[in-house]
Amino acid sequence: MAERSGAARGPVQEGTAPVADRPDAVRNVVLVGPSGSGKTTLLEHLLLATGSVSRPGTVEAGSTVSDYDEAEVRQQRSVGISLAPVEVNGVKVNLLDTPGYADYVGELRAGLRAADCALFVVSAAEPLDGAARTAWQCEAVGMPRAVVLTKLDHPRADYHGTLAAVRSVFGETAVPLYLPLGSVAGDAGDPALGGLLSQQVFDYAGWADTHSRRERTADDDEAVLIGSARGDLIEAVIEGSEDETLMDRYLGGEEIDVKVLVADLETAVAGARLFPVLPGCTHSGVGVAELLEVLTQAFPAPAEHPFPPVYTIAGARVEDMACDPDGPLLAEVVKTTTDPYVGRVSLVRVFSGTLRADSVVHVSGHSSQFRSGAGSGAEEVHETAHADHDEDEKVGALASPLGKLLRPVPYCVAGDMCTIAKLTRAETGDTISGKDRPLLMQPWSMPDPLFPIAVEAHAKADEDKLSLGLTRLSAEDPTLRIEQHPDTRQLVLWTMGEAHADVLLERLRQRYGVTVDRVDVQVSLRETFGRPGAGKGRHVKQSGGHGQFAVCDIEVEPLPTGGGFEFVDKVVGGSVPRQFIPSVEKGVVAQMQRGVATGHPMVDIRVTLVDGKAHSVDSSDMAFQTAGALALREAARDAEVLVLEPVDTVDVLIDDDYVGAVMGDLSSRRARVLGTEAAPGGRTVVHAEVPGLELLRYAVDLRSLSHGTGSFTRRFARYEALPSHLAAKLADP
């Protein structure tokens, strides 16, 4: 980089917001890293270095727009995405801080969608775990990125070991730009960095007081250290250069000018062909100035980032979109929050056009065109949120967020980000476009929530507010799916894990005043006949007036799995009048819905009506319905009734190190392992069929078993007989 001697400070004063007038003056950067790596602390020091805040602790990263609840602020800091813009030498840098917990990968993906480049934050004091490696490989493919190694002043810090781990993930194109020296490297002396291109030393001894660094010439020992690491960087820059003659000149012994190397370095970083690694120590300020230079000079502007697929409302692909402030309006809702005082607040990324306050826009949400719900493993899935919608709405006030502050801005140009107040219908992932040209962006890929919890309103007063609270939560969080199961009658929230579920229930209580109780999730079971049976249904009542009389004889036999229900009429001689034969079928079907042994619906049987009796006066439709139900229940007493459980096809993606443990765990869950196949990056996919009863906590258990690296998908396959020892535990209805 163009290594300067001082940190760049923009003209922005605390409480005011930087405003960009053109896309090339914007950089959108998402901070990615595991929990505890130091993302939020690094963000705060970047704000301090640029003059955006005046003291540590001013910004509560990730907080909501008002200070109505400090507990909510602390919670949001850990589990939500937040935006903090800074200005550096005329360039506005939108820093998106994302949570590091696995339950909130949806927030991470939202940040990656809104950003044009990624900044990976890695603690040099902790080992690089598998979850971080997996996230890097899966979430930022092709995105320009840099890596910051934090906590270098920690007693357990291991710069070289962490650097080696980073290179094992990103490859040899992850190369350091600076070398830690002095106390940052665990040696005596002031904290300093050695510039591998300039071969100068940048001394941070006075950073805490002046927020500036001092440039000096390297001494003999420092020059040796810098020279030994410089060759790898130069070779990586040349390999990523667009100048094909550069390598031949370098191998021929020519000394390549530093300015040429810096220019090629910036081009390679912007093209995701080289990933710079920078040391960082927030306490001493080491690396902050260098990082700001990378963010503004090497990271690409929004116009260099490809557009997500864009369609008309009718579904036609749109190819003529560009990051142009004068083009048609196209923006996307990255995050939605609800504040009890301000109302709904939408964080948006503008891709084209210019968004202005008080204008009328079109809000489109068509998630059904791009996603299909995976559901609970059974065949019926009832979504109660994220319904398709199209609305014209007036834009409220535009603002640039900084922690709890919403600083007003007059407009937001293509490539920039801002918040919009009071878009009442906008949900996370929705598209905002001009009302004269409605458009639709394909939503980003969201993980499927696979951890179910069943809830009930704690009191009658909570029942009235529960639906509204859940609707608003689902508008904010695309990783929440709400299901009202038709068989179990349970309200089931499909979440990403225990932490996600706890946060959702706490938000229900704090924001919407709704208290719910968690209850055990019930799996939708079925019943069927294990062998043929026969029954007589006799419904005869005489009470002195008009009586009830109906008798029917049926035979029941099981059908193959998936055979459904068949009703056969073999009555001869008119023993059951023709008008009452459908009544017998209705009664049988009604009893099948109620079940005959455990209270679960019955499936896959053939019922044959063979005989019966009727009365010319007392027989009726209801009498024969009752007789049909009684006949089925009597047939079940003599025949074997099987309880059926849903079986899902499950694909588990894990690191090779955990294949044995995962397969052993699947066996303990009564799974049938179908096979395995290799996946890229030293991973394996295990294919299995697993009973739905064994999958209720599998999302949490797999994460624990695989140290956060495992994931799985599930889809309903069929119903199979529940083992007899488990069926015996089910109580009679």
Residue 100 confidence class, pLDDT cut points 50, 70, 90: confident
pTM for the full model? 0.85
Q: CA–CA separation, 540 vs 627, rounded Å? A: 9
Model confidence at 265: pLDDT above 80 = yes
How much is the average pLDDT of 259-278? 90
Of 577, 729, 721, the closest CA to residue 646 belongs to 721
What's the pLDDT score for residue 329? Answer: 96
pLDDT(297) > 80: yes
Query: Is the pLDDT score of 376 beyond 70?
Result: no
Q: Which two tokens stand for residue 252?
A: 């021929």
pLDDT of 131 strictly over 70: no
Residue 12, pLDDT above cutoff 50:
no
pLDDT of residue 504: 94
pLDDT one-digit tens code per residue, 429-474 = 999 999 999 999 998 888 889 999 999 999 999 988 999 899 889 8
**pLDDT tens, position by position, 635-666:** 998 888 999 999 999 999 999 999 999 999 99
The reported pLDDT for the residue numbered 54 is: 67
From the list 381, 370, 345, 572, the residue with the least C-alpha distance to 483 is 381
Computed from CA positions of residues 216, 217, 222, 225, in that sequence, does the dihedral angle turn out positive or negative?
Answer: positive
Domains, the chain, ordered by start: 23-304 (3.40.50.300), 310-441 (2.40.30.10), 451-519 (3.30.70.870), 531-639 (3.30.230.10), 643-727 (3.30.70.240)
Question: Does residue 406 carry a pLDDT above 60?
Answer: yes
Q: What is the pLDDT at residue 732? A: 47
Q: How far apart are CA 440 and CA 317, in angstroms?
A: 9
Question: Which residues, listed in sequence order, are joined to residue 87 by a DSSP beta bridge?
Answer: 92
Read off the pLDDT of each residue in 518-544 and give the average, rounded to a whole number: 91
pLDDT of residue 68 exceeding 60: no
3-state secondary structure 222-282: HHHHHHHHHHHHHHHHHHCCCCCCHHHHHHCCCCCCHHHHHHHHHHHHHCCCCEEEEECEC
* Candidate from 377-381, 431-435, 558-562, 715-719 with smallest mean pLDDT: 377-381
DSSP 443-458: PPP-PPP-EEEEEEES
Average pLDDT over residues 705-721: 92
Which has the higher per-residue pLDDT, 189 or 64? 189
Q: Once rounded to an integer, what is the mean pLDDT over residues 112-139?
A: 81
Residue with tokens 């459908």: 582
* CA–CA dist 557, 528 (Å, integer): 9
CA gap 56, 285 in Å, rounded:
13
CA–CA separation, 179 vs 201, rounded Å?
9
pLDDT-derived band at 733 (thresholds 50, 70, 90) equals very low
Q: b/e map of 448-467 (b: 16 or more CB within 10 Å)?
A: bbbbbbbbebeeeebeeebe
pLDDT at 386 over 70: no
pLDDT attached to residue 689: 97
Q: What is the pLDDT of residues 602-622, one digit of tens each?
A: 999 999 999 999 998 889 999
pLDDT band per the 50, 70, 90 thresholds, residue 139: low
What is the C-alpha to C-alpha distance for residues 96 and 334, in angstroms, rounded to an integer? 11
Among the listed ranges 135-144, 354-363, 463-472, which one has the minimum average pLDDT value? 135-144
| Cross-strand pairs, 29 | 95, 117
Write the pLDDT tens digit of every residue in 152-198.
Answer: 888 888 999 999 999 888 888 899 999 999 888 777 778 889 999 98
Average pLDDT over residues 205-211: 77
DSSP string, 456-480: EESSHHHHHHHHHHHHHHHHH-TT-
Q: Output the pLDDT for position 5.
A: 33
Cα 171 to Cα 165: distance, rounded to the nearest angstrom: 10
Q: What is the mean pLDDT of the segment spanning 41-56?
A: 81
> pLDDT at position 10, please?
39
Averaged pLDDT for residues 364-385: 54
- Average pLDDT for 68-91: 70
Q: What percent of the chain has pLDDT over 90?
A: 54
Report pLDDT for 105: 86
Q: What residues contact 332, with CB distance under 8 A and at least 6 apart?
A: 113, 114, 308, 348, 349, 351, 429, 430, 431, 432, 441
Rounded Cα distance between 470 and 481, Å, is 10
- Tell me: pLDDT of 78 over 80: no
Contact status, residue 679 vs residue 659, Cβ threshold 8 Å: no
Q: What percent of the chain has pLDDT over 70?
A: 89
**Contacting residues for 283 by C-beta, under 8 A, at least 6 apart:** 153
Question: Does residue 250 surpass a pLDDT of 90?
Answer: no
Question: Around Cβ 610, how many Cβ atoms within 10 Å?
Answer: 16
Predicted confidence band of residue 731 (pLDDT cuts 50, 70, 90): low
pLDDT over 70 at 7, yes or no: no
b/e map 263-281, b = 16+ CB within 10 Å? bbbbbbbbebbbbbbbbbb
pLDDT of residue 137: 61
* pLDDT band at residue 303 under the 50/70/90 scheme: very high
Lowest-confidence segment of 94-108, 138-152, 570-584 by average pLDDT: 138-152
| pLDDT bucket at 682, cuts 50 / 70 / 90 | confident
pLDDT at 538 over 90: yes
Mean pLDDT, the chain, rounded, equals 86
Residue with tokens 């069926």: 727
Q: Is the pLDDT of residue 242 over 60?
A: yes
- Could you read off the pLDDT of 477-508 as tens digits, one per residue? 889 999 998 888 999 999 999 999 999 999 99
On the question of pLDDT at 138 being above 70, the answer is no
Q: What kind and span of H or E run contains 338?
A: strand 330-339
Enumerate residues 6+ apart whose C-beta is below 8 A from 392. Answer: 360, 361, 362, 363, 435
User: Which residues in 572-701 belong to E strands, given as ranges?
Assistant: 605-613, 641-655, 672-679, 683-691
Instruction: Flag the least confident range among 244-248, 469-473, 519-523.
Output: 244-248
With 50 as the cut, is the pLDDT of residue 581 above it? yes
Q: How confident is the model at residue 247 (pLDDT cuts 50, 70, 90)?
A: confident
Average pLDDT over residues 707-727: 90
Mean pLDDT of 288-302: 92
